[in-house]
Amino acid sequence: MKKAVIDIKGMDCASDAVDIERSLLKIRGVRNVTVNYLIHKGFIYVDEDVNDEDLKSAIKRAGYDVASIRFKEKK
């Protein structure tokens, strides 16, 4: 399992964060999602086979843009 930290553009309120969380949770292999609209970041735990394009696509489907994605291996 690995952790993705995503910088998300375009969020203005808590409902925006919920929309993004719902979209990300539809991806097979996504285990846990927390999106904070105040700091414009998402923290996602995913299986090893989930890649950045899967995450970007889900966020774009929700109507938002991705500034960057960083992966960290979970210990």
Domain boundaries, the chain: 2-73
Q: CA–CA separation, 16 vs 53, rounded Å?
A: 20
Whether the model pTM is above 0.85: yes
- Tens digit of each residue's pLDDT (9 = 90 or more) over 9-55: 999 999 999 999 999 999 999 999 999 999 999 999 999 999 999 99
C-alpha closest to that of 56 among 34, 27, 17, 13: 27
Per-residue buried b or exposed e for 60-72, using 16+ beta carbons within 10 Å of the residue's own CB? eebebebeebebe
For domain 2-73, which architecture applies? 2-Layer Sandwich (3.30)
